[in-house]
Chains A and B, each alone.
Chain A
Amino acid sequence: MASATVLSSTAPVPPHEVAAAPPMPDIMPPVKARRGVTGFLWRHPTIAVGGALLLLMVFIAVFADYLWTVDPTALAPARRTREPSAQYWFGTDMLGRDVYSRVIFGARVSLIVGFAVAILSSVIGLAIGLVSGFVRWADGIIMRVMDGMMSIPPILLAIALMALTRGSVRNVIISITIAEIPRVSRLVRGVVLSLREQPYVEAAVASGTRTPVIIWRHILPNTIAPITVQATYICASAMIIEAILSFIGAGTPPIIPSWGNIMAEGRALWQVKPYIVFFPAVFLSITVLAVNLLGDGLRDALDPRMAKRI
């Protein structure tokens, strides 16, 4: 009956009878604003995961000299097609070469090709895109050429180029770069054309700023974000195309252990010795996945408008 008396009573309740308000549960804990690099990675987990995986691959590629167990080019027919074991971690291939050591060195080829193509095609594509966006008479010609190049599926274009040159890492890089340039040029041209309509660029033009200064100060900074995102996707696509070229025998020469080459060598035996194909395939997939995650994360982080669209 105590509660009833409290409710009906109008007299002041003695202080010791008043229960203190129970502590409220934290329905919404205060938002901890994380700052700096940790905060950025926390807010963009795809960048953190992709970046970590990619760093791991870069680490493997850089320190391949210390990570291999058996000379990756040493032929030893006596111990060919061994199953994975303590000595040959990923087994041996048809010629007795250690698959683990070859896969480790394969990381180098894949990453070099991916990064080189991404950087080269970005720089060349940027230059072409700028010319196309600023030089009216050249625009029509350049864009028709780019349209034509884009009508050739990139893998086929790279195949056609490789058929005319000797297989080498350099030629693979050049071939894939040529196939990827149109994409960057179109992107840059689009950015330039939309920026030229911006009031601040018009103001700069009106106040007599010279074109090179406008490009340097107003256009270039705005192309960096979309080009960076595009470059990561190009990097991923270049790694896949390199592996495909090597796999079908049009890429790096067989002496170089690239993931595509290792798979090509395991192809004849894949039904009985699937591990020769399996290990390079897993490494390639993880690397490409890492770059793609990084690209998705960068797109969300650098360009919120683009993130909404896809």
Chain B
Amino acid sequence: MWAYVVRRVLATIPVMAVVALFVFSLLYLAPGDPAAVIAGDQATPEDVERIRQSLGLDRPYLVRFGEWVWHILQGDLGTSIFTNLPVSTMIAQRIEPTLSLMIVTLIFAVSIAVPMGVVAAWKQGTLIDRMVMAFAVLGFSVPVFVVAYLLAYVFALELDWFPVQGYTSFQEGFLPWIENLVLPAIALGGVYIALIARITRATMLEVLQQDYIRTARAKGVGQTGILFLHALKNAAVPIVTVIGIGIALLIGGAVVTESVFAIPGLGRLTVDAILRRDYPVIQGVVLLFSFVYVLVNLAIDLVYTLFDPRIRY
């Protein structure tokens, strides 16, 4: 099995290399002159030339790629065109709010979505099931900023239960921290809950038809025990996989959620960078998020290989 673990870890290296190559090559694949686009319409030829040099577009592609990868391996993601600060510093300053938002959303979404899917599968065909499925379709259809504005309007402006916008650091206490994250987490969690609930329901429906469920029922295991101990445990692999894959949705949604709720995280950094056409920052954020995404999914893969004795390679 350790051979498998090593192989699985090594297999992520080409994936990350492709991500890096792709993100880097975008500069060269973009139609037209990216330096001119980044510099903007009012730029003088000198400005364009300066940006071309700072992006390394004046040097050969492969040389530049080699340099870039070498710098990344040392933790250097380049320098912002706008602020002249290292991109890694800018990211480090913004990482806490985004990480908080994602962790809170993850915990909230999983603890809602899994029971939802389990109950829907148990009560298949009933009103409860239909309501869960209807919610799932709505969750996929209503874009994150729509939910965000709706929540902010009702629960922050009208009812005044939560702060409208902003972020308080975790260091200033748990309550102010979580208070600011409740609405963003619900807004961001919508699609994610829909996805997980649907997969949980589908997998549970399959598992509940297995013989060992009938055996458990015959020997007198209660309904809760059957659902959560026998069935959910066996349905865990696809559910956990989708929780991992769905993190891509959270990352994309965070960009929007952070702008609606004025949370100074990586999403805001990305949006600001777009408005200033600060490509090195965008490149750095995209690269970081993609690597995190690959690594989280690697971790999930490895965890269930280690804990599920049925999986043998």
Contact = CB atoms under 8 A, between A and B. Distances in A.
B149 A274 contact: yes
A179 to B, nearest CB: 10
Contact of A153 (B199, B248, B274, B277): B248
A292 B252 contact: no
Given A160-B286, A164-B27, A289-B138, A244 B248 contact: no
B120 to A, nearest CB: 12
Interface stretch (B29-37, B43-51, B84-92): B29-37
Contacts of B283: 160
Contacts of A76: none
Contacts of A147: 14-15, 18
Interface stretch (B93-101, B139-147, B214-222, B225-233): B139-147
Contacts of A267: 259-260
Given A285-B143, A292-B140, A249 B274 contact: yes
Interface in B150-184: 153, 157, 164
A144 interface: yes
Interface string A237-261: 0001001100111100000000000
A165 B32 contact: yes
Interface of B is mostly: helix
A247 B145 contact: yes
A55 to B, nearest CB: 17
Of B26, B34, B141, B198, most buried by chain A (CB within 10 Å of CB) is B141
Give the contact-size bracket for chain B: 35 or more
Contacts of A161: 26, 30
B286 A159 contact: yes
A57 interface: no
A277 interface: yes
Contact of A277 (B21, B138, B149, B275): B149
B5 interface: no
A51 to B, nearest CB: 15
B186 interface: no
Interface in B276-306: 277, 279, 282-283, 285-286, 289-290, 293-294
Contacts of A164: 26-27, 30, 34, 37-38, 279
Contacts of B270: 156, 159, 248
A161 B277 CA distance: 11
Nearest to A284: B143
B167 to A, nearest CB: 18
A98 interface: no
Contacts of A149: 18-19, 22
A166 B18 CA distance: 26
A148 B21 contact: yes
Given A153-B248, A277-B149, A250 B290 contact: no
A27 to B, nearest CB: 21
Interface of B: 14-19, 21-23, 26-27, 30-32, 34, 37-38, 137-138, 140-146, 149, 153, 157, 164, 198-199, 202, 248-249, 251-253, 255-256, 259-260, 270-271, 273-275, 277, 279, 282-283, 285-286, 289-290, 293-294
26 contacts: A147-B14, A148-B16, A148-B18, A148-B21, A149-B18, A149-B19, A153-B290, A155-B252, A156-B255, A160-B26, A160-B282, A160-B283, A164-B37, A243-B143, A244-B145, A248-B255, A249-B271, A263-B145, A270-B153, A278-B149, A284-B143, A288-B143, A289-B137, A289-B138, A292-B137, A296-B137
- The 3 A-B pairs with the shortest beta carbon distances in the complex, nearest first, are A148-B18, A155-B252, A164-B30
